[in-house]
A and B are shown apart, each in its own frame.
Chain A
Amino acid sequence: AQSVAQPEDQVNVAEGNPLTVKCTYSVSGNPYLFWYVQYPNRGLQFLLKYITGDNLVKGSYGFEAEFNKSQTSFHLKKPSALVSDSALYFCAVRPAPSSGGSYIPTFGRGTSLIVHP
């Protein structure tokens, strides 16, 4: 069975500092990995994904994530945090079709990012 772990319920960072939101996964075969962001009173919004190719993936709003197969991780990063980045961030995984696993993505429990002015 596939699973996602977001080990931190909350991450605090000062505006202008780099931020990292951690995600590790477990899946049979190759993973498809996703990050979503949820602003207050809104639905989840897609940020970026890794399917294949370059391990460093760039997404919306200056975010990027690095796929590390040996560590089964897909951490979300941004070089310089903004107060407006404060939100709930979700990591999700689904196995590649060739793995024969479920199409349904598994979501982590979410990490609350708080950026202080």
Chain B
Amino acid sequence: DAGVIQSPRHEVTEMGQEVTLRCKPISGHDYLFWYRQTMMRGLELLIYFNNNVPIDDSGMPEDRFSAKMPNASFSTLKIQPSEPRDSAVYFCASSLVGGWGTEAFFGQGTRLTVV
């Protein structure tokens, strides 16, 4: 398996524009997580899905953020409208069914810059 695949790797956009980040989890994994990493706040969990269903989105900072998982092999994180303070590295991660004792596998991240 190629691991968790995120696209794009880098995104530069202007304030007010819509941004969509994409993630393909590892096949067979039933948990999917979206994290945001900044110097100031470290690694923050935004939302996670179990079997394509959003379980906890309490980490989503504002209504401008939304996430979907239409099927087991694809998820999106959308920011509309984007703001400069959204600039960060966004990671997607997945883990295996029944995985309390299993580790999460992270994608390489999308570095978002909002100017």
Contact = CB atoms under 8 A, between A and B. Distances in A.
Contacts, number: 47
B101 A51 contact: yes
Interface string A42-55: 11111001010000
Interface residues of B, number: 20
Contact of A94 (B48, B100, B108): B100
A49 B56 contact: no
Contacts of B106: 36, 43-45
Interface of B: 4, 31, 33, 42-43, 45, 48, 56, 91, 93, 100-101, 103-109, 111
Per CB-CB distance, the 10 closest pairs between chain A and chain B, nearest first, are A43-B106, A46-B103, A109-B42, A44-B106, A51-B101, A43-B108, A107-B43, A97-B100, A43-B107, A43-B109
Interface of A: 32, 34, 36, 41-46, 49, 51, 90, 94, 96-97, 103-105, 107-110
